[in-house]
Structure 1
Amino acid sequence: MTDSPADGALKRSVGRHGIWSAGLRSEDPARRGELAEAAAELEQLGYGAVWLGGSSAARHALPLLEATSTLAVGTSIQSIWQYDAAGSAAGFAEVEGAHPGRFVLGLGVSHAKFAEQYRRPYSALVAYLDELDEAGVPSDRRLLAALGPRTLGLARDRAAGSIPYLVTPEHTARAREILGEVPLLAPELKVILETDPGRARTLARGSLAIYLTLPNYTDNFLRHGFTEDDLLDGGSDRLIDAVFAWGDEAAIRKRIDTFVAAGADHVALQVVDGGSREALPREAWRRISSLLA
Structure 2
Amino acid sequence: MAATVTVARARERLGRVGVWVNNQVTAVAPAEEQRRAVARIEELGFGSAWTGESTGGRDIFAKLGIWLAETDRLVVGSGVANLWARPGITMAAGAATLAEAYPERFVLGLGVGFPRQAESLGRAYGRPLARMREYLDEMDTIPDPALVPTAAPEAPHPGVLAALGPKMLALAKDRADGAHPYAAPVETTARAREILGPDKLLIPEQLVVYHPDPAQARERARQYRARTLSAMHVIGGATGSPYGRNLLRLGYTEEQISTVDDAVIDALIAHGDEEAIARRLRDHLVAGADHVLVNPVGADLATIVATLERIAPAVTGL
State TM-score, norm by structure 1: 0.90
Code of the residue aligned with 2:201 in structure 1: it is: L
Q: Check conservation: 1:189, 1:270, Cα contact below 8 A.
A: yes
The 5-angstrom pairing of residues 88-107 of structure 1 reads 88-107=91-110
Select which of 146, 149, 165 maps to 2:163: 146
Q: Which residue of 1 aligns with 2:307?
A: 284
Measured after TM superposition, the shift of residue 201 of structure 1 is: 2.2
Between the two proteins, the alignment pairs up a number of residues equal to 286
Q: Which residue of 2 aligns with 1:269?
A: 294
The 5-angstrom pairing of residues 1-293 of structure 1 reads 5-6=4-5, 8-21=8-21, 22=23, 25-26=26-27, 31-55=30-54, 57-116=60-119, 117-135=124-142, 141-194=158-211, 195-196=214-215, 197-210=218-231, 211=233, 212-213=235-236, 214-233=240-259, 235-273=260-298, 275-276=299-300, 281-292=304-315, 293=317
| Matches of 1:267 and 1:108, distance apart in 2 | 18
Measured after TM superposition, the shift of residue 67 of structure 1 is: 0.8
Q: Check conservation: 1:53, 1:76, Cα contact below 8 A.
A: yes
| Matches of 2:17 and 2:223, distance apart in 1 | 26
Q: Check conservation: 2:285, 2:292, Cα contact below 8 A.
A: yes
Q: Check conservation: 2:19, 2:49, Cα contact below 8 A.
A: yes
| Structure 1 residue ranges (4+ consecutive) displaced by more than 4 angstroms after TM superposition | 136-140
Q: Relative to structure 1, is the Cα distance of residues 248 and 280 closer, same or farther in structure 2, using a 3 angstrom cutoff?
A: closer
| Matches of 1:44 and 1:152, distance apart in 2 | 33
| Matches of 2:80 and 2:302, distance apart in 1 | 19
Q: Check conservation: 2:96, 2:157, Cα contact below 8 A.
A: no
| Matches of 1:19 and 1:198, distance apart in 2 | 23
Q: Check conservation: 1:140, 1:159, Cα contact below 8 A.
A: no
| Matches of 2:161 and 2:136, distance apart in 1 | 10
SS state of the match for residue 119, structure 1? coil
What's the CA shift string for 1:175-201, capped at 9, x where partnerless? 000000011101110000132233332
Q: Check conservation: 2:221, 2:269, Cα contact below 8 A.
A: no
| Matches of 1:279 and 1:205, distance apart in 2 | 23
**Which stretch has the larger CA shift, 196-205 or 254-263?**
196-205
What's the CA shift string for 1:95-130, capped at 9, x where partnerless? 223212212111111122332220122111112112
Q: Check conservation: 1:24, 1:35, Cα contact below 8 A.
A: no
Q: Relative to structure 1, is the Cα distance of residues 129 and 279 closer, same or farther in structure 2, using a 3 angstrom cutoff?
A: farther
Measured after TM superposition, the shift of residue 24 of structure 1 is: 6.6
SS state of the match for residue 85, structure 2? coil
| Matches of 2:246 and 2:99, distance apart in 1 | 34
Q: Check conservation: 1:59, 1:95, Cα contact below 8 A.
A: no
* Stretches of structure 2 lacking an aligned partner (at least 5 in a row): none
State TM-score, norm by structure 2: 0.83
| Matches of 2:141 and 2:26, distance apart in 1 | 28
SS state of the match for residue 73, structure 2? coil
Code of the residue aligned with 2:68 in structure 1: it is: L
Measured after TM superposition, the shift of residue 140 of structure 1 is: 5.2
**Which stretch has the larger CA shift, 281-290 or 212-221?**
212-221
Q: Check conservation: 2:187, 2:250, Cα contact below 8 A.
A: yes
Code of the residue aligned with 1:166 in structure 2: it is: A
Q: Check conservation: 1:204, 1:244, Cα contact below 8 A.
A: no
Percent of pairs with identical residues: 37
Code of the residue aligned with 1:281 in structure 2: it is: I
| Matches of 1:176 and 1:232, distance apart in 2 | 27
* Stretches of structure 1 lacking an aligned partner (at least 5 in a row): none
**Which stretch has the larger CA shift, 167-176 or 90-99?**
90-99
Q: Relative to structure 1, is the Cα distance of residues 205 and 172 closer, same or farther in structure 2, using a 3 angstrom cutoff?
A: farther
Q: Check conservation: 2:111, 2:161, Cα contact below 8 A.
A: yes
